[in-house]
Chain A
């Protein structure tokens, strides 16, 4: 069974204090790893897709990286508006169709 584990569950940072969120996964036949951001009371919003080990993608203060067993979301000099829950999901093919399995997320709070 595909498993996605995110750590830490919650993270509190001061504005400007860089850190990383971890997503470790166990999946047969990974086809893609997705990062989403979810604000309270809203649906997840797409951030990145990574397809192969060694791949990196950046967007503003966020950089996502991928290895064969885990992905990291690096947050550089975060601002209060970066506060949200960050979700990781892995995509695989099962019985001819694609499945997307989400982790439980890391709740990030950035204080001014």
Chain B
């Protein structure tokens, strides 16, 4: 158990809908990362937060947004969903997001857009 909790584990929805994925980092970790994993693209970095502030942005679509709350949990919001958004979404956390720090990953949310 990595200590990172993601909910829900599975999500099935329709095109055009909006969903929210939730992540609780390991106790004491200030940095949260969101990744998308698909069979053809592998693990793609979406966005990173550190202590409530956005720190880095990767290949995140404008339809997607995230935030980190004062209690350090994070939410990833996906809107106007398309079939191609179906993927595994992982949250990871680390202490300070510093160089060399290893990331601890949650078990992921499997999103299926029908």
Complex contact A98–B97 (CB within 8 A): yes
The binding surface of chain A is classed by DSSP as strand
Chain B CB within 8 A of A65 CB? no
**Cβ contact within 8 Å between A101 and B92:** no
Q: Does A99 contact B (CB under 8 A)?
A: yes
Q: Contact at A102–B42, with CB atoms within 8 Å?
A: yes
Q: Is A44 an interface residue (CB 8 A)?
A: yes
Q: Is the CB of B102 within 8 A of A41?
A: no
Q: Is B14 an interface residue (CB 8 A)?
A: no
User: Closest Cβ of chain A: how far from B25's Cβ, in Å?
Assistant: 13
**A79 → B minimal CB distance (Å):** 22
Smallest Cβ distance from B45 to chain A, in angstroms?
6
Determine if B43 and A102 form an interchain contact, defined as CB atoms under 8 angstroms apart. Answer: yes
Interface residues of B in 93-110 (CB under 8 A from A): 97-100, 102-108
Query: Which residue of the partner chain, among A44, A51, A87, contacts B100 with CB atoms under 8 Å?
Result: A51
Say how far A5's CB is from chain B's closest CB, in angstroms: 11
Q: How far is the CB of B11 from chain A (nearest CB, A)?
A: 15
Q: Is the CB of B105 within 8 A of A43?
A: yes
B103 and A46 within 8 A (CB): yes
Given contacts A31-B100, A32-B100, A51-B100, contact A99 B105 (CB under 8 A): no
In the complex, which residues of chain B have a beta carbon less than 8 angstroms from the beta carbon of A43?
2, 4, 90, 92, 105-108
Residue of A nearest to B108 (CB): A43
Find B99's partner among A44, A46, A89, A98 (CB 8 Å cutoff): A98
Residues of B within 8 A of A (CB): 2, 4, 33, 35, 41-45, 48, 55-56, 58, 90, 92, 97-100, 102-108
26 contacts between A and B (CB under 8 A): A31-B99, A32-B100, A34-B102, A36-B105, A41-B107, A42-B108, A43-B4, A43-B90, A43-B92, A43-B105, A43-B108, A44-B103, A45-B105, A46-B104, A87-B42, A91-B100, A93-B99, A97-B56, A98-B56, A99-B58, A101-B45, A102-B35, A102-B42, A102-B43, A104-B41, A104-B42
